[in-house]
């Protein structure tokens, strides 16, 4: 029961024209950009900004295209003719751009992935695509690191998975504390990479990060 002297604030609903996907229409999205331009103090009707709403919406379709992709499906096609290969498969320095879910500012970084095959491998481009799918969503780095590792582990069922991500967060380097040149490092180790120190050290050496 709410006490009579307490006031409860409720968010104001924003009218939108929802399509079959449940997403606002393109017209609503462009109108929202015009509102933000006006909030910033500029005139959305001046010549230089007339096409900005369309450009921003098209950029969002690219920035956040990961919502329309199934990361698990990307890894479904595997290869078993590997002549018993059971050592580390690693990709390092995979560049990505994501966006912080708190400020919608860019997260610019690189990811390193490793796994120990269990009778089957996947095309290396598919590993890079997994990073892109999760990067092209609103993110925090810790969650993104776990999502990449967990998806590889669940679909490929290898003997181990290792993911390390290093990234600069523009919400920290261009606003707030304004500390450029700072990278955040996160890691997720599963299976043999978590249980076996030598295996973990080998992966870190492969990606140029000796433990």
The answer to whether 133 and 74 have CB atoms below 8 angstroms apart is yes
Residues 6+ apart with CB under 8 A from 14: none
102 is annotated as an active-site residue: yes
Please state whether beta strands 138-139 and 89-100 pair in parallel, antiparallel, or not at all (unpaired): parallel
Q: Please tell me the distance from the alpha carbon of residue 28 to that of residue 51, in angstroms, as a whole number.
A: 15
The H or E element that residue 28 is part of is: helix 26-40
Active-site pick, 30, 99, 147, 169: 169
Q: Give whole-number Cα distances, 5 to 9, 10, 11, 12, in Å.
A: 13, 16, 20, 22
Active-site pick, 30, 112, 141, 170: 141
Active-site pick, 100, 139, 147, 170: 100
Q: Which residues pair with 113 in a beta bridge?
A: 91, 163
112 is annotated as an active-site residue: no
Active-site pick, 69, 171, 201, 202: 171
139 is annotated as an active-site residue: no
Active-site pick, 102, 142, 154, 197: 102
Of 58, 37, 61, 62, which Cα lies nearest the Cα of 49? 37
47 is annotated as an active-site residue: no
Active-site pick, 101, 142, 157, 197: 101
**82's tokens:** 């590997």
101 is annotated as an active-site residue: yes
171 is annotated as an active-site residue: yes
Residues catalogued as catalytic? 100-103, 141, 169, 171
């Amino acid at each position: 029961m709410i006490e009579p002297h307490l006031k409860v604030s409720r968010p104001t609903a924003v009218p939108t024209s929802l399509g079959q996907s449940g997403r606002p229409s393109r017209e609503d999205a462009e109108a929202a950009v015009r509102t933000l331009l006006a909030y910033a103090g500029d005139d959305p009707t001046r010549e230089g900004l007339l096409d900005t709403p369309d450009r921003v919406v098209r950029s969002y379709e690219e920035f956040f295209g990961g919502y329309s992709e199934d990361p698990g499906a990307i890894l479904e096609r595997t290869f078993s003719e590997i002549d018993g290969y059971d050592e580390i498969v690693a990709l390092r320095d995979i560049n990505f751009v994501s966006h912080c879910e708190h400020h919608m500012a860019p997260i610019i970084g690189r990811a390193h992935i490793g796994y120990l095959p269990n009778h089957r491998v996947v095309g290396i481009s598919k590993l890079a695509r997994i990073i892109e799918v999760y990067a092209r969503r609103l993110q925090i780095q810790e969650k993104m690191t776990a999502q990449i590792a967990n998806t590889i582990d669940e679909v490929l069922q290898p003997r181990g998975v290792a993911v390390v991500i290093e990234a600069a967060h523009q919400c920290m380097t261009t606003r707030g504390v304004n500390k450029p040149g700072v990278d955040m490092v996160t890691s997720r180790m599963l299976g043999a990479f978590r249980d076996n120190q030598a295996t973990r050290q080998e992966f870190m050496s492969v990606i140029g990060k000796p433990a």
